[in-house]
Structure 1
Amino acid sequence: MAMDKINVGLIGVGRQGTNHYNNLLSMPNVNLEYICDLKVDESWKKKFQNIPHVVKDYHEVLNDPSIQAVMVVTSTDSHAQIVLDAAKAHKNIFCEKPFSMNTPEDKIRDILHVVKDNGVKLQMGFNRRMDPQFQEVYQGVRAGQIGDPQIVKTTSRDPFVLDKELIKRIGGLPWDFTIHDLDLARYMMGSNITEVYAKGGTLIDPTLKEIGDVDTIALVLEFENGAFGLIDNSRQAVYGYDNRVEVFGSKGMLKAENVSGSTVELYTKENETQKNPLPIFTQRYHQAYVDEVNSFFKSIIENKPVVADGVDAIMAQRAVIAVDESIKTGKPIKVDPHFTL
């Protein structure tokens, strides 16, 4: 497909949708033709007067033959249906993770068949794969710099506990948060997860029990190649947004530390100091969000595979379901590592 610019519709302009909106405006290969959200009213049309079409019904976006790609950034429970409808309308699709929290896997498989049969791209929003630092680690592992990878460690800690109503919409800690670590661990190791053993509790906000959520998770993974993974997650790191990755292998180790506003460290006789990590995910992963969407558009233009597809979404969701079950039962849970369309 040869084109100078891609005509895009953005479906869903909440917290994450607004992040994508701001990034899309800076991309020279994008014509953002539609803003779509269930909350659209006249005030939205004034706010987004630079966008040709501001609509409430996503079918208006899909029915426009000039639209080549859509960004699905709606509430998680609507992803599966919109992706299905977009594929039937022959639109390339970028969908925020997760694909779904409650759609049976066989239904997701059917949707992926429709995507494939209609010859469109589907990229899932696992943005951490495209973070420049994590990419450097990934490429180093693939190049054999550390030999055979044996252990992967990821740490993800938010700076503050989210509002409960938001958590109910986007999913609890395993679905909204740990799913990124599970995907990144699998991505780094180049091997599917076969077992999950997780512990979760409310060490920060006990009232999260009221909505069936936890705020602290520690888990151990086993991979198909026999390697292991360690993940720790927290909803509140008082010092900033804490995200780190380490891959240890037979010949060495690759590690990506936190990103802060400065690389300067002060050392004196009394102590040493350094800047706290960046305060929130939109700053920490700004470049990753830009790069993942640019990668999506490049895959359309050059007809190449996307960086994270529907199968990656299914494998991550299997692992998240196992995390939930392991926390509830206190036992290790097996994960099926096999999937074919």
Structure 2
Amino acid sequence: MLSLPLGYDREATPVGETLPGHPDHELRRALDRCARIVVAFDGKLGDSLLAFGAVTAITDALSLLGRSVPLTTRGRYGSLYPTGRMTGSYGCSLRLIVGDEPGIALAQPTGDDHVLLCRPEEAHCRSDGRRVHTFLPSRYYLGVEERAGVRLPGGPPFLPSLAREAGDSDGRTLTIAAVTATSWPRRKDYGAERFTMAARVIGERLGRRVRLILVSGRDGTTHRPSDAGGVRLDSVAGADLETLASLFAQCDVVLGNDTGLTHLAAFVSNRAEVIGLYGRHSHSKWRTGLGHHHALATPFSEHMHRWDMCPVRDGLDETADEQRAPLSAISPTLLADTAVLALERRSS
């Protein structure tokens, strides 16, 4: 896979050691003097969650410096980051603001603040000579580490824990959620029919009853299959993120397209095997890096992965590739077999 070298062997470099290269002196000054961290995300859910790798790098850098400062949040998705109990009182007013453009606008930075803007298209795949770090959280984390000029203590997946308590299972019914919500139906809608077929095959393979929850967007227009084939169907439309996080934490499997709610499921559920379907973007970039977050991809997505490309940033005309390999080319049987394999590996 195409990647940019870090310029140092991360595994062989002790935590706290100065790194080769030229650090970002403005960032170092902000780490030394900031009185508050502001996590400010209000744009897209998936982009925000995966950018939490940058926030984790900032908190790790401050911890390495022996500093404990308050952390506050702004925006719809900034509030998902765990605030913890960092305290402190400092004479300066400098805030270190980490976020996306809409979130930073809400934070209203002044000339005294330092802003770290997270743009996924600018987060390139990095290699340290032993390992290629493909996932977005690791790209953000290592980018901050390199700019800070010091080896930070974090390791894969470079993320805070957002996991929720999972309820007890009766052992007989398999609970599956299928994320049908998407902001781009023409390119990312797998369809309730196909998800239902996959859920039915999963139940048959494992000899268990299946409850399938179709998670749709606020318009609630998800088509319910006329024949569920013995699968118990429920629907959730337009639920808030807290409700969905609690729901995902109770699931055994979450199926979804490459969208924010699928990423959220991977963050909040240690119990569920989460399988994302990737048609347009790199399947290795747009994932958390958590062990239970898997991917099935079209040839176009695989091409994006191999060359670390972005169809928007690189101005690609992917129409022909999408026509040859739409998301629907991933069969429900393949999706089901992937879920069954993940479940069997977990139980072994």
Q: TM-score, normalised by structure 1?
A: 0.35
Q: TM-score, normalised by structure 2?
A: 0.34
